[in-house]
Amino acid sequence: MKQTIHLIAISGSLRAASCNTALLRAVQAVAPSQIKVTLFEQLAQVPPFNPDIDIETVPLLAQLRDQIVAADGVFIASPEYAHGVSGVMKNLLDWLVSTPAFVNKPVATLNASPRAHHAFAALKESLTMMSALWLETASITVSVIGETTTIEAILCNPRLCAELRKALAVFTELQLEVAV
């Protein structure tokens, strides 16, 4: 097994107080020492998708594509708007759809609200179409609403932390299978 498992985390929210981003920061915080989780924090800087523009001419996107290709897996958490993923998340996926970024890449989707099942399903559909390996056992819905919308509140909730650790363990198990 590799010494360090590297995961990229992408929040589909631009809100400063996003519960999706807080959830991914909690994943970073509870990750065991052999797992490094890097949060992509430049979503607001991604330009509107234009198929006439080559991704190589947008350094931020070319760099993200390369980071995802090099990573062992990806976590994505996105809010739901109008029964779909956020526009900025969809925009990012549109930029990456014709690249090798998600091809055979293990991906887990985190859903911060049980009411957001349409976005969760839409993410699964898009990622599957992009040839990602959607990890059902690591893709979870947790209720991060009300009083548990901050990273501090999430980390104080033993049940939520246990669920996040269980999702992270799936990536460790995958690396063990690859090493065999």
CB atoms within 10 A of CB 132: 23
CB atoms within 10 A of CB 160: 20
Structure confidence at residue 3 (pLDDT): 85
Provide Rg for the chain, Cα atoms. 15
Each residue of 76-101: pLDDT tens digit? 999 888 998 999 999 999 999 999 99
Structure confidence at residue 179 (pLDDT): 57
Structure confidence at residue 2 (pLDDT): 63
Instruction: Give the residue-averaged pLDDT of 4-31.
Output: 95
pLDDT at 134 over 90: yes
Each residue of 146-179: pLDDT tens digit? 666 789 989 999 999 999 999 999 998 887 676 5
pLDDT above 90 covers what percent of the chain? Answer: 74
**Domain over 5-179 is classified CATH 3.40.50.360:** yes
The tokens describing 168, both together, are 């992270």
Structure confidence at residue 111 (pLDDT): 87
> Which sequence spans correspond to the domains of the chain?
5-179
